[in-house]
Amino acid sequence: MATIFAPATAAGKAGIAVVRVSGADASASVIALCGHIPAPRVATRVDLKDPANGERLDDGLVLWFPGPRSFTGEDVAEFHVHGSRAVVDSILTVLGRLASFRLAKPGEFARRAFAAGKLDLAQTEALADLIAAETRAQARQALRQLGGALGRAVEELRLRILRLRAQAEAEIDFPDEGDVPGGLIATMAPSLDALDRALGDLIEQGARGERLRNGYTVAILGPPNAGKSSLLNRLARREAAIVSSVAGTTRDTIEVHLDLAGWPVTLIDTAGLRELDADDPQAAIEREGMRRARLSAAHADLRLIVLDARTPTLDATLAPYASDALVVHNKIDLAAADAAAIGISAATGAGLAQLENILAGKAAASLGAEDGQAALVTRARHREALVAVQAALRRARLQPQAELIAEELRAAAEALGRIVGRTGVEDVLDLLFGEFCIGK
């Protein structure tokens, strides 16, 4: 394969930038820029020079990682240079002139690590999640999976299934009598039940793990001019939504991502809900905004109804959402809130700290685990594979022949293998590695 290179740090002015090289000819890049190969895995200060004319490009550090003891399993070099565009561009120019070198594609370093067995597929997904993590809870979940927790759990389950399959194969090769393996199923039943329970626990985790990756969603509902957009801006601590005294200003949904006590929360500002004249052609856009508001409300984890404390009555458009909603009375600087509601003022900030604590608590209750451990199953792909495993094991208990039992156990083991990349994942790879930035 070609030797690849790319910046491993974000573009823009910075104190330090890292340029990574991986491949069979990585040593040529070190010799070209530094003149010699430094000691492995030791940061060495060097003058980086253009081999074409000897021009000094930078005073930086080089790290040399001979394969297979490297991130990709190949020879890897890293150049830690000053983070100006001029310096980074000059380093990339030199590398681009070297034979068999080319710029890396997004995720190509991680893909080579996966191909070399340095990471299984679940760990590779965790690496993408860690890069994208916006809160501590998301990072904690990704780190646990990056450490191989899901891979170890999957391998333990796979070995248990393979032992059962070996038992079924022995029944096929050395049958006592008849084709109906009643005794075989009887001896397998406790193990199959235990596997079913373990899979059920992991599948249940999956919903929580996926929600944590995507964030806890809160749809802000209410009549026009109740202060929904003002509340969104207060919680976001920026002008994310247009605020106006004109009813119907908000026509589309606006999303803001927050970190509340380490939990990812997505606030969705929506169009005000009210009764409209069905024959009014000017109301078509507002009606579409209300349709989107109802759609957001239907899919949100929590509905937050904002009412004007001066007129806190739920009308017919909001009543369907009231039973399990969190009701907030805004504008308590103008009127007192009812005792049953949370009183706030988006204008002055009064009550906002209490509301943030309540939202953080609800997010923690929905996304967190009772034992404090991050979920192992974090993607729909994992959950769907586990459901397929569970279904195959349940079918195995119903089969009348040892050969059919063995086949269902084989299908179960293969479905488990797809989670970590043992089998049948080629259609996943391009999509997954496309999530990465160039240089990772």
* CA angle 47–48–53, rounded 5-degree value: 115
User: For 287-337, how does the pLDDT look when each residue is reduced to its tens digit (9 = 90+)?
Assistant: 778 888 888 888 899 999 999 999 888 888 888 888 889 999 999 999 988
| Fold annotation for 3-112 | Gyrase A; domain 2 (3.30.1360)
Cβ–Cβ under 8 Å, residues 76 and 58: no
Cβ–Cβ under 8 Å, residues 440 and 10: no
Give the pLDDT band (50/70/90) at residue 427: low
Give the Cα separation of 228 and 224 in Å (integer): 8
Averaged confidence pLDDT in the chain:
86
Give the Cα separation of 181 and 11 in Å (integer): 64
| Fold annotation for 157-420 | Rossmann fold (3.40.50)
Cα 318 from chain centroid (whole Å): 33
pLDDT at 174: 63
User: For 47-105, how does the pLDDT look when each residue is reduced to its tens digit (9 = 90+)?
Assistant: 999 999 999 999 999 999 999 999 999 999 999 999 999 999 999 999 999 999 999 99
Q: Which among 389, 6, 402, 397 is positioned nearest to 177, based on CA atoms?
A: 402
Q: What percent of the chain shows pLDDT beyond 90?
A: 46
Q: Which among 103, 75, 99, 101 is positioned nearest to 89, based on CA atoms?
A: 103
User: For 262-283, how does the pLDDT look when each residue is reduced to its tens digit (9 = 90+)?
Assistant: 899 999 988 888 776 666 666 7
pLDDT at 179: 47
User: For 233-251, how does the pLDDT look when each residue is reduced to its tens digit (9 = 90+)?
Assistant: 888 888 866 665 555 555 6
List the domain boundaries for the chain. 3-112, 157-420
Give the Cα separation of 79 and 89 in Å (integer): 13
Give the pLDDT band (50/70/90) at residue 169: confident
DSSP state of 258: E
Give the Cα separation of 368 and 375 in Å (integer): 8
DSSP state of 222: -
Least confident of 30-44, 167-181, 184-198: 167-181
Cβ–Cβ under 8 Å, residues 328 and 231: yes
User: For 352-381, how does the pLDDT look when each residue is reduced to its tens digit (9 = 90+)?
Assistant: 999 999 999 999 888 876 555 667 888 888
Tell me which residue has tokens 């890897």. 76
Cβ–Cβ under 8 Å, residues 412 and 192: no
Would you list the DSSP string of 371-394? TSPPPS--SHHHHHHHHHHHHHHH
CA distances from 272 to 70, 209, 227, 290 (A): 55, 32, 10, 7
Same fold flag, 3-112 and 157-420: no
DSSP state of 336: P
